[in-house]
Amino acid sequence: MTLFVLFLVLYYVLITGSMLAFLPSLPVIVLASVFYLLPLLLHSWLLVKCKSKEELLKYGITLPVLSMVSYTAFAYFSENLGLWQLFVERNTVVSDEMTVQIAQSPMELSQLAFAFILYSSISVVHYYIKLQKIKRKLLMLTINHLSKQFKGNDFYSLRDVSLTIKKGEIVGLIGKNGAGKSTLMKLIAKSLKPSQGEIYYKDIDLHSKENLLQDVGIMIDPVFYPDMTVEDNLKFYLQLHGKTNLYPNIEKTLKLVELWEARKRKPKGFSFGMKQRTALAIALVAEPNFLILDEPFVGLDPIGVQKLITILKEWSSKRQISMLISSHQLSELEALCDRYLYIKEGHLADQFNAMDGTKLLVHLAEEGIIEDLQPYLSEYIRMDGNCLEIATICPQEKLNNLFTMLGRQQLIKSIDIKENQLKQIFSQGD
């Protein structure tokens, strides 16, 4: 930002100085400000305010063009309205103290080209710097070449793992038992120290500063005070984090995990499932900005699972909370996650988007109708031979339009479900 401001100051000094030297009349200077300097100042202010790549693209490219149009309009009006001739003799302006040589035209081609090149260069530099800042701001978690070798082992439990998680993204962590999922989560939670590699949370090295995980909700192993009631455990957690103003969250959180009726009981006598739900309640109650959840669906009945999935998706979309969730309950992950990471024998073996999961297959009754279907194809609806592959997250309007057309022309031969990619990955090597 400082570099950009310095560039702008220098640029405005040069342009304004040239205008004052060559355009000594007040009407011309006012006209220059309206057509040229004000658009440039507006452009600069909008660039500083940009908060997304889309805004940056819009303001970083379109406004310089508009500014140059204004620049050209200024040149046209200043000459054709006679403002130049009102205050300037053809070759010189004579004052009591000095004679100033003036150009024949207020806006020579060389000056216009110089201004365009200089301003475009400034815009490109600032565009790049701002884009990098936006990218870093969107990343909640960055992991570079992370490895963990436990003392006494001649092998790595986690080896050379690199990944990123964006703001508001829900990422499913999948893999067989012993693959390294819990090790990865514990490294992120700082309960383990990495052998090699780096972890950045909000672009800050996790091990460079204390209390960076204050706004992270963590449920890996059930952690609570067994001799305190469930309700007191949540109150103590909120007190510890200085969030006593969130006491009203306790009731709705315990109802979400189906422990409200057991709020006065002590967890030491709970079943494994109830202990899991207690730990889940502690992770959720403080309204975190990032969630790390290991088997969050254990112990919940089907209604409870659906309620949890709904609230987590709502948090992701409305509050932009990021989540890393590990579970063997693949159907629940498919209903929740945007993207998946597959850990195999300590390595990040694969990563893919949710769209690559379950698909609806529509087998067509006729061949060679690709041209008729072309308007309906998209990132959600693809053609594979004589079959349509439809992602389960396809928008309602697209589905209705497609099936209306297929039904009207009686093109549906049969409908099938494509085996989801999560199950396919788990079956590899068995």
For residue 52, count other CB atoms closer than 10 A to its CB: 11
Per residue in 79-123, pLDDT tens?
554 444 444 443 334 333 333 333 344 444 445 445 555 555 555
| 262-219-150 Cα angle (round to 5) | 140
Is pLDDT of 430 > 70? no
Counting residues of the chain whose pLDDT is more than 90, the rounded percentage is: 28
Average pLDDT score over residue span 141-164: 92
Instruction: Quickly list DSSP for 258-320.
Output: T-GGGTTS-GGG--HHHHHHHHHHHHHHT--SEEEEESTTTT--HHHHHHHHHHHHHHHHHH-
Average pLDDT score over residue span 260-274: 91
266 with 243: CB under 8 angstroms?
Answer: no
Per residue in 280-326, pLDDT tens?
999 999 989 999 999 998 888 888 888 888 889 888 888 889 999 99
DSSP 166: E
For residues 291 and 284, what is the distance between their CA atoms, to the nearest angstrom?
Answer: 8
Burial class for 410, CB neighbours closer than 10 Å (0-12, 13-18, 19+): exposed
For residues 346 and 337, what is the distance between their CA atoms, to the nearest angstrom?
Answer: 22
53 with 85: CB under 8 angstroms?
Answer: no
390 with 380: CB under 8 angstroms?
Answer: yes
Q: 88-118 burial, b if ≥16 CB within 10 A, otherwise e?
A: beeeeeeeeeeeeebeeebbeeebeeebbee
Is pLDDT of 373 > 90? no
Report CA 303 to chain centroid distance, whole Å: 30
Q: How confident is the model at residue 380 (pLDDT cuts 50, 70, 90)?
A: confident
Strands 139-148, 196-201: pairing is: antiparallel
Per residue in 170-219, pLDDT tens?
999 999 888 999 999 999 999 999 999 999 998 889 988 888 888 899 99
3-state secondary structure of 14: helix
**Whole-number Cα distances in Å, 394 to 217, 340, 346:** 31, 18, 34
**Residue-averaged pLDDT of the chain:** 76
Q: How confident is the model at residue 1 (pLDDT cuts 50, 70, 90)?
A: very low
Residue with the larger pLDDT of the pair 335 and 155: 155
Average pLDDT score over residue span 353-366: 76
Find where tokens 């009754």 sit.
Answer: 365
For residue 164, count other CB atoms closer than 10 A to its CB: 15
Average pLDDT score over residue span 148-162: 92
Residue with the larger pLDDT of the pair 30 and 415: 415
Query: According to the model, what pLDDT value does residue 91 have?
Result: 37
50 with 134: CB under 8 angstroms?
Answer: yes
Per residue in 384-396, pLDDT tens?
888 888 877 778 8
Query: According to the model, what pLDDT value does residue 101 have?
Result: 38
For residue 321, count other CB atoms closer than 10 A to its CB: 22
Average pLDDT score over residue span 51-73: 58
